[in-house]
Amino acid sequence: MLNLDITKSNAGIDKLLAITTNPRHQYILMNYSRHRYLEFSGRYDEVLAEDMIVDTPVYNLHALGFNTTISGKENVRNLYRFWAETNQCIFYGEGEQVAVADNFVASTVIAHQQVWGGSILSSKALGLLPKGLSSELLLKMLEIKGMKAEPDCMYLYSNFEETIWPYDDRCRLMREDVMEPNPAAAQITKLDPSDVLTTAQAAALLAPLIKPLPNFDEFVLGKAAA
């Protein structure tokens, strides 16, 4: 049985938010938490809302020595849509430590993400795998463990991850910079069907935890809404 709980994936953010008093830092942490839970729920259009993210976001994803840069809302939307439709937006975090500054959030975490066997086998999906993973390298990882990618199966990819998310002056996400400093330590395991979480199931579990952002001018700048 998989001993992971998607509703606890933002525990590190919640812990820091509980002791943060700077309104700007609080707002960034609320955006960060909301973004991740919306992403895990397949609610990508809300991730891309004007109060959440800049007009031209850039995602720099570095994993297993394979580098991917995704730029612009439509390209990011296509990536999120693909993940949501294939249950690859499911993410679990363990032991996360989070730091916040005026214009960025940084974190370290043991990250786990569901990977669909069909993505590994399809050349059309190359570059759309979680974190920009290379299908060739995932196949090699499975081979080392004596397994083969099966198109109807789900796998769990796990590794230590470092991230920096810069935010603009209105606390909107500008970039995601994601890096795995030790690709050789990555693990991939085949999931039992009973341990696979669907996007719809994740959305139902996380819905009570997803809170709307407060008005930026009121919360951060102390200005009354017009």
State pLDDT tens for residues 150-209.
Answer: 767 899 989 999 999 999 999 999 999 999 998 878 888 899 999 999 999 999 999 999
Torsion sign across C-alpha atoms 173, 18, 88, 63: positive
Multiple choice CATH, 6-219, 3.40.50.10490, 3.10.450.50, 3.30.750.24, 3.40.640.10: 3.10.450.50
157-175 burial by CB neighbour count: b if 16+ within 10 A, else e?
bbbbbebbbbbeeebbbbb
Strand partners, 62: 67, 179
Residue 2 — very low, low, confident or very high, per pLDDT cuts 50/70/90? confident
Strand partners, 94: 110
Phi/psi class of residue 98: alpha, beta or left (left: φ > 0; alpha: ψ in -120 to 50)?
beta
Torsion sign across C-alpha atoms 61, 62, 63, 68: positive
Name the amino acid, one letter, at 226. A
Quick one: pLDDT at residue 27? 98
Q: Is the pLDDT of residue 132 over 90?
A: no
Domain ranges of the chain: 6-219
44: Cα within 13 Å, side-chain hemisphere: 18
Quote the crossing angle between the two packed helices 11-19 and 23-40, to the nearest 10°.
Answer: 160
